[in-house]
Chains A and B, each alone.
Chain A
Amino acid sequence: MAKVGMDGHDRGIKVVSTLLREAGYEVVYLGKLLTPETVVAAAVQESVDAVGLSFLSGEHVTYTQEVAHLMEARGLRQASPPPSSSPVKGEENKESPSPLEGEGTGGGGGVPSVKLFVGGVFPNTDIPKIKQAGADDVFPAGTLVTEIVRRIQSVLAMS
């Protein structure tokens, strides 16, 4: 879990991180004011199943895209649209670099499929844009954490 860019509103991400921990997940909260590079490097190092980003900056689409591209470049996921628009996944249909150290989870043998979740304050009309930018699911402010847990479980179960 991390905040990228200069926005530091972190009440939400801290609460969600704690409640995800209480729900049984191992959560690494990296902090705020990070670059996409730092976040993705940490994701590689920690061999995470998912990356969570939180925004209250207005720059949710740009940064989601940057993180998603870097995750692809570092071999954490494939450069394919999110599952909602392409139900069949796991095919070796891309030309991106090979997986780093092959430590990622999921994905079954080929490129690992690390998920990307985004939460925070943004127009609800931007939710499709954030998904298009690479998020597997998007949780606007006010979403109950019980709901977030349920949806994270179902996305992770698909990989």
Chain B
Amino acid sequence: MSRSRDVASQAREQGKPSTSRPPDFTPSRPDAYRERPRRTATWSGLEVKEAYQAADAPPPREDPGTYPFTRGIHPNMYRGRYWTRREVCGIGGPKDTNELIKYLQREGQTGVNVIFDIPTMTGLDADHPRVPHEIGVQGTSVSSLQDMEDLFDGIPVENLSVSLVVTSSAAPVILSMFLEMAHKRGADVSTLRGTVQNDPLHHRYCGYPAVFAPIGLALHTAVDIIEYTTRCVPGWHPINVNGYDFRETGINAPQEIAFALAQAEAYVQGALARGLPIDAFAPRFAFYMSAHIDLFEEVAKLRAARRMWARLMREKYGARSPDSWKFRFAVHTAGCALYPQQPMVNVVRIAYQALAATLAGASSLHCCAYDEPFALPTRQSHRLALRTQQVLAYETGVANTADPLGGSYYVESLTDRLEEEAKAVLSQIEERGGMVEVIDSGWIDREMEKASLEYQKEVESGERTIVGVNAFSIPPEEDTQVVGEEAPAASKTDQIRRLALWKERRDGGRVRASLGRLREIASRAHAHAERVRDALKGRSTPIVPSTAPAHEGLTDVNLIPAMREAVSCGATLGEALGVVRAAFGESYDPLEALMDPFA
């Protein structure tokens, strides 16, 4: 386990009251007014001193906007521009989500953040035999270009920052559909702004089995997007390295930093192996981080991550452009710190988490809705989450100055501490052969399982107090009843019917021909991807592919031009990804229920 946990267990043994006796929170407990904190470690288990002095946080400290950017990537932070306020949304068919996006825009969100349902996330079409129950349930359903057009119908996509939450190797197909949709509308694709999550290596840690994102394919499609947007859509963030989903598995703050940075390094190395110069793509790298419940530790975590990324880019990868050194991150408040017991308490938790995010200088923020431990948010709870951000922005004054906690003895000391602990985890990953290797070997999974089990045991024993869960609980019948939002009942059958119509009306010959071209490029890409994968495990040096003459500066293994062509000819998500999977030696259908109809 990480050093921080060793430290935590040592600290616990040093003269702390025994944890075997559960704490007493009964109203009649004696000496309640004398109560003092039982747990004096941070959420991650770092022991905290009674008071911090100047000696705990020795200078020098740089100004905001200067290397290594501990205090922020801009000199004036939010005085220059507020964080983007956008709520993750997605439910039912694309038309249902289109209405939801418009609702959130009317309520004042300043960007769009769409999440897709499980079939779409995993690259399966709505008519796949294994998915009828899941269509539009955890996000919205997109199988074809028509769905993407419906999703953004009446929403101008120019001068808007759009975030597409799709992680697996489905990401390049969804991005292709988005670009084709904009192109058909007459938009200049090269000027579009936005983000695609595109972190397929982490896909297996947010609930999906490895079969949906085999490592070789995952790395390849991730780098395809980096290469493509760097050359063709320069305002786009090609990747949103997801520390958030890692954290949701139960790991601690230093591990969140280390796993996210190590993961980012795998993509950086993949992009370098594609022949891209570091300063061409690093300035558009972005991260998606958690804001958990320990306010100061979370601020320190994000400050430490910013400093570590800057040093990594400059010192290890030799980036010369200051833009390459800047750690840009969005924050998603930690859903795993919310509970269904006494759900209104979550409103308070979310506000503290969002405060941590903005004190730490997040570029973009999603606040969870208080009812998320039950179901997808309702319109009202979505609105309240957005209002939480608006109170922060307009009433609290948190945006008035850069890095308001900079110089705090405690926060500076904790930032140093988080950096030290995260570095130790990074070294562990390096010693084991790097991120791709520790994913493959299952080491990451074991770290997560240990962490979540340890956390639950600490809740069970009362070592951690969770209000409403193991303290101050109330009978379920007295609790707030939450109905939760459900996808409109007809949306599932509608999606299947509309997809059948789409397939009937399209030109089958063109679909087949375009998928044939995609398969051909994918076969070439496969050979390259195998070499890159081995190289990242330290076994060989990759050969940089040649540059294709047809597309400015793109290499001949990039799948996106052919994907764009295929989806514009009418190919579906499942078909485009299936053909690529087959060329990569995987099954056309990850669930092996469908045969490759184009073989």
Q: How far is the CB of B42 from chain A (nearest CB, A)?
A: 21
Given the known inter-chain contacts A6-B131, A8-B208, A62-B133, please indicate yes or no for A141 contacting B339, CB distance below 8 A. yes
Given the known inter-chain contacts A33-B209, A124-B476, A141-B373, please indicate yes or no for A18 contacting B453, CB distance below 8 A. yes
Q: Which residues of chain A have C-beta atoms less than 8 A from B486's C-beta?
A: 58
Residue B137 interfacial (CB < 8 Å): yes
Residue B341 interfacial (CB < 8 Å): yes
Residue B474 interfacial (CB < 8 Å): no
User: Which parts of B409-458 form the interface with A (CB within 8 Å)?
Assistant: 448-449, 452-453, 456-457
- Is B207 a contact partner of A14 (Cβ separation < 8 A)? no
- A1-44 CB mask vs B (1 if < 8 Å, else 0) is 00001111111001100110000000000001101000000000
Residue B249 interfacial (CB < 8 Å): yes
Q: Which residue of A lies closest to B124 (CB)?
A: A6
- A103-132 CB mask vs B (1 if < 8 Å, else 0) is 000000000000000000111111000000
User: Which parts of B341-388 form the interface with A (CB within 8 Å)?
Assistant: 341, 371, 373-376
- Is A5 a contact partner of B375 (Cβ separation < 8 A)? no
Q: Which residues of chain B have C-beta atoms less than 8 A from A32's C-beta?
A: 207, 209
Residue A144 interfacial (CB < 8 Å): yes
Binds A, one of B97-105, B292-300, B477-485: B477-485
Question: What total of chain A residues lie within 8 Å of the partner, measured CB to CB?
Answer: 32
Residue A46 interfacial (CB < 8 Å): no
Q: Which residues of chain B have C-beta atoms less than 8 A from A140's C-beta?
A: 340-341, 373
Q: How far is the CB of B375 from chain A (nearest CB, A)?
A: 5
Contact of A123 among B133, B460, B468, B482 (CB under 8 A): B482
- Is A125 a contact partner of B138 (Cβ separation < 8 A)? no
- A40-71 CB mask vs B (1 if < 8 Å, else 0) is 00000000000000001111001100000000
Q: Which residues of chain B have C-beta atoms less than 8 A from A80's C-beta?
A: none
Contact of B456 among A8, A10, A15, A124 (CB under 8 A): A15
Q: How far is the CB of B456 from chain A (nearest CB, A)?
A: 5
- A74-116 CB mask vs B (1 if < 8 Å, else 0) is 0000000000000000000000000000000000000000000
Q: How far is the CB of B305 from chain A (nearest CB, A)?
A: 23
Residue A155 interfacial (CB < 8 Å): no
- Is A59 a contact partner of B133 (Cβ separation < 8 A)? yes
Q: How far is the CB of A137 from chain B (nearest CB, A)?
A: 12
Residue A145 interfacial (CB < 8 Å): yes
Q: Which residue of B lies closest to A121 (CB)?
A: B373
- B100-131 CB mask vs A (1 if < 8 Å, else 0) is 00000000000000000011001000000011
Contact of B134 among A6, A15, A141, A144 (CB under 8 A): A6
- Is A10 a contact partner of B207 (Cβ separation < 8 A)? yes
The answer for the CA separation of A33 and B119 in the assembled complex, in Å, is 12
The answer for the CA separation of A126 and B481 in the assembled complex, in Å, is 10
- Is B133 a contact partner of A63 (Cβ separation < 8 A)? yes
Contact of A6 among B119, B371, B448, B469 (CB under 8 A): B119
Q: How far is the CB of B154 from chain A (nearest CB, A)?
A: 27
The answer for the CA separation of A146 and B375 in the assembled complex, in Å, is 25
- Is A8 a contact partner of B133 (Cβ separation < 8 A)? no
Contact of A125 among B448, B459, B482 (CB under 8 A): B482
Given the known inter-chain contacts A8-B208, A14-B452, A124-B340, please indicate yes or no for A58 contacting B137, CB distance below 8 A. yes
- Is A11 a contact partner of B482 (Cβ separation < 8 A)? no
Contact of B137 among A8, A59, A126 (CB under 8 A): A59
Q: Which residues of chain A have C-beta atoms less than 8 A from B452's C-beta?
A: 11, 14-15
- B472-504 CB mask vs A (1 if < 8 Å, else 0) is 000010010111101100000000000000000
The answer for the CA separation of A146 and B461 in the assembled complex, in Å, is 9
Given the known inter-chain contacts A63-B133, A140-B340, A141-B339, please indicate yes or no for A58 contacting B138, CB distance below 8 A. yes
The answer for the CA separation of A14 and B450 in the assembled complex, in Å, is 10
Q: How far is the CB of A64 from chain B (nearest CB, A)?
A: 12
**Among the interface residues A5, A6, A7, A11, which one has the most CB atoms of the partner chain B within 10 A?**
A6
The answer for the CA separation of A6 and B128 in the assembled complex, in Å, is 12
List 18 additional A-B contacts (Cβ < 8 Å) besides A6-B134, A124-B481.
Answer: A6-B131, A7-B118, A7-B138, A7-B207, A8-B208, A14-B449, A33-B591, A58-B138, A63-B133, A121-B375, A122-B375, A123-B484, A124-B374, A124-B482, A125-B484, A126-B484, A142-B466, A142-B468
Can you list 20 A-B pairs with a CB-CB distance of less than 8 A? A6-B118, A6-B130, A6-B133, A8-B207, A8-B208, A11-B248, A11-B249, A11-B448, A19-B460, A32-B209, A33-B591, A59-B133, A62-B133, A121-B373, A121-B374, A122-B374, A140-B340, A142-B340, A142-B469, A144-B469
